[in-house]
């Protein structure tokens, strides 16, 4: 008779509480790290492009077993479902429980690895230490080679941060809110310095490890998949411009791989929080679009927004909004424009721009050819020419194009965004 792995119903109940409490963390990427094969005698490797294993009922990808080690929090952050004043059932896993769940799920190919975060139990250091012990057990005792994303608890010692980066593929410190003022108001027990310091430390360690590994291939890796962070959108009064400039700074100065935006889901009737009927999903979607422009399209935050127009347009994606403000940039000639210029055309993304550049080597591209190479011109047609000939005869004025685009999309009625985030595809 085989022994059951999970002793009581207990683990199942804990799993429900502690995955439910972790679901508001948007990060799910499993990419950017590459371990060819499982460690000797062990299980698990990672894939450069990341792998999604399932999609939950909200349509988000599941790639990691996303858990809190505990939701028993001594902090009382207004926006958080786990705040100490909230009446919710509390639970904490033992290290063994998390290790066994990870391994049993991984062996059945349910997951790509583990995402472990936690509420602050007795202290940041005590919590971080327990989290590090989980991944240490996985890596050392169980020889687990799958993906691990570990949250850093703000305020934990640099020694623990270093240890975390040594075992995990990705580590992240959540910004939580886009400004010091909001942090002070909504999360008085968290300090900006306690968030930014470990971020800077992680950035330096990643850089150093990369340099070391160029010299000695066997030098230890530090968070090979980099660091990310998350901000809650719509719980505090910052403008999109402030948020984007913050992200831009994080990408440039701190070398972050990803900034996640999480639409505030009303989980509290605290009077410091705005009263909203539903999470601001469209705003979140537009921020992700703008974030993509920063990372892959060569835009700066100042090109996308300004102090005079600090919010992203609801009716148009940020690239189209930019194009409508810059008629002098258009039309773009498909057969001559360089890659960077093609990327600025609304409706032409990274894939399309690359296909255009590749196909041009063989012959001039005709409007018919655009279809053949799989470039959708529904939106782009107002902004391009093909060998000098326009796609749309009569439209030149931004006002006309604006009108046409709105008509083409069901008279300005904004469709609920389909999620743009493809966590598996890009870091």
Partner 1 sequence: MVKYLCDGTSDGTLSAIGLILQEHSDPGLVTLSEREDTLFEEGMFIATDPLKAEDLFSRLKEKAPDAARTLYFFMLAEQEGMANSLLHYIEQALQHGDKVNGYLTHPAVRDIVTVSRKAARELHRMKGLLRFEKLRDGAYLAQMEPDHNIIQPLAYHFSRRLRAQHWFLYDRKRRTASSWNKGELRFGTIEQFTTPALSEDEKEVQAMWQAFFKTIAIPDRKNPRLQKSNMPMKYWKYLTEKQGE
Q: Which is nearer to partner 1, 134 or 365 (CB)?
A: 365
Q: Which is nearer to partner 1, 60 or 133 (CB)?
A: 60
**3-state SS string for 288-299:** HHHHHHHHHCCC
Catalog residues that contact partner 1 under the rule CB under 8 A: 1-2, 4-6, 11-12, 15-16, 19-20, 22-24, 36-38, 41-45, 47, 49, 51-63, 65-66, 101, 104-105, 107-110, 112, 265, 278-279, 281, 355, 357-359, 361-363, 365, 369, 372-374, 418-419
Q: Which is nearer to partner 1, 39 or 390 (CB)?
A: 39
DSSP letter for 155, please: T
- Can you tell me the distance from the alpha carbon of 156 to that of 154, in angstroms, rounded to the nearest whole number? 6
Nearest residue to 120 (alpha-carbon basis) of 144, 152, 79: 152
Task: Return the half-sphere exposure (C-beta side, CA atoms, 13 A cut-off) of residue 275.
Answer: 2
- Can you tell me the distance from the alpha carbon of 408 to that of 144, in angstroms, rounded to the nearest whole number? 51
Closest distance of CB 407 from partner 1, Å: 24
Other beta carbons less than 10 A from residue 123's beta carbon: 13
The burial class, CB within 10 Å (0-12 / 13-18 / 19+), for 215 is: exposed
Nearest residue to 50 (alpha-carbon basis) of 261, 249, 228, 290: 228
Closest distance of CB 55 from partner 1, Å: 4
Closest distance of CB 380 from partner 1, Å: 17
Q: Which is nearer to partner 1, 7 or 307 (CB)?
A: 7
Other beta carbons less than 10 A from residue 23's beta carbon: 14
Q: Which is nearer to partner 1, 55 or 329 (CB)?
A: 55
Other beta carbons less than 10 A from residue 142's beta carbon: 18
Q: Which is nearer to partner 1, 156 or 289 (CB)?
A: 289
Q: Which is nearer to partner 1, 52 or 395 (CB)?
A: 52
Cis check: omega of the bond before 181, within 30 degrees of 0: no
Q: Which is nearer to partner 1, 40 or 388 (CB)?
A: 40
Closest distance of CB 354 from partner 1, Å: 8
Q: Which is nearer to partner 1, 70 or 209 (CB)?
A: 70
- Can you tell me the distance from the alpha carbon of 275 to that of 318, in angstroms, rounded to the nearest whole number? 27
Closest distance of CB 107 from partner 1, Å: 6
DSSP letter for 365, please: P
Closest distance of CB 391 from partner 1, Å: 17
- Can you tell me the distance from the alpha carbon of 179 to that of 176, in angstroms, rounded to the nearest whole number? 9
- Can you tell me the distance from the alpha carbon of 343 to that of 335, in angstroms, rounded to the nearest whole number? 14
- Can you tell me the distance from the alpha carbon of 34 to that of 164, in angstroms, rounded to the nearest whole number? 18
Closest distance of CB 31 from partner 1, Å: 12
Q: Which is nearer to partner 1, 108 or 215 (CB)?
A: 108
Closest distance of CB 392 from partner 1, Å: 22
Nearest residue to 208 (alpha-carbon basis) of 221, 195, 190: 221
CA angle 414, 417, 421 (to 5 degrees): 155
Closest distance of CB 212 from partner 1, Å: 26
Closest distance of CB 19 from partner 1, Å: 5
* DSSP assignment of 59-84: S-EE-EEEEESB---S---TT-TT-T
The burial class, CB within 10 Å (0-12 / 13-18 / 19+), for 367 is: middle
Closest distance of CB 37 from partner 1, Å: 5
DSSP letter for 278, please: S
Q: Which is nearer to partner 1, 210 or 425 (CB)?
A: 425
């Amino acid at each position: 008779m085989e022994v059951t792995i999970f002793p009581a119903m207990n683990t199942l109940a804990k799993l429900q509480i502690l995955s439910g409490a972790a679901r508001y963390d948007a990060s799910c990427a499993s990419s950017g790290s590459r371990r060819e094969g499982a460690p000797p005698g062990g299980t698990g490797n990672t894939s450069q492009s990341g792998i999604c294993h399932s999609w939950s009922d909200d349509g988000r990808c599941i790639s990691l077993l996303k858990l809190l080690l505990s939701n028993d929090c001594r902090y009382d952050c207004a926006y958080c479902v786990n705040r100490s004043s909230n009446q919710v059932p509390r639970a904490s896993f033992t290290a063994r429980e998390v290790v066994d769940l990870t391994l049993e799920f991984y062996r059945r190919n349910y997951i790509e690895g583990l995402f472990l975060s936690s509420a602050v139990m007795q202290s940041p250091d005590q919590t971080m230490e327990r989290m590090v012990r989980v991944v240490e057990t996985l890596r050392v005792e169980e020889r687990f080679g799958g993906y691990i994303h570990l949250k850093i608890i703000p305020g934990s010692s640099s020694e623990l941060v270093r240890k975390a980066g040594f075992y995990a593929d990705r580590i992240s410190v959540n910004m939580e809110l886009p400004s010091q003022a909001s942090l002070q108001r909504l999360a008085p027990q968290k300090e900006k310095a306690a968030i930014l310091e470990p971020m800077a430390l992680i950035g330096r360690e990643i850089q150093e490890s990369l340099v070391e590994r160029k010299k000695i291939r066997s030098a230890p890796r530090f968070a090979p998949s980099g660091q990310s962070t998350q901000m809650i959108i719509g719980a505090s009064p910052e403008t999109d411009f402030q948020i984007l400039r913050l992200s831009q700074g994080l990408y440039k100065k701190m070398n972050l791989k990803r900034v996640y935006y999480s639409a505030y889901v009303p989980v509290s009737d605290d009077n410091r929080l705005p009263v909203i009927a539903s999470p601001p999903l469209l705003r979140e979607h537009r921020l992700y679009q703008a974030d993509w422009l920063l990372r892959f399209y060569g835009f700066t935050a100042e090109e996308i927004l300004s102090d005079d127009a600090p919010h992203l347009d609801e009716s148009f994606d940020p690239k189209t909004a930019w194009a409508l403000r810059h008629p002098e940039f258009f039309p773009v000639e498909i057969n001559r424009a360089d890659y960077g210029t093609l990327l600025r055309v609304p409706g032409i993304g990274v894939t399309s721009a690359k296909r255009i550049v590749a196909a041009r080597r063989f012959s001039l591209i005709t409007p018919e050819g655009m279809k053949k190479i799989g470039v959708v011109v529904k939106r782009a047609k107002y902004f391009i020419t093909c060998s000098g000939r326009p796609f749309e005869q009569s439209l030149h004025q931004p006002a006309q194009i604006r009108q046409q685009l709105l008509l083409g999309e069901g008279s300005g009625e904004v469709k609920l965004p389909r999620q743009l985030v493809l966590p598996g595809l890009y870091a």
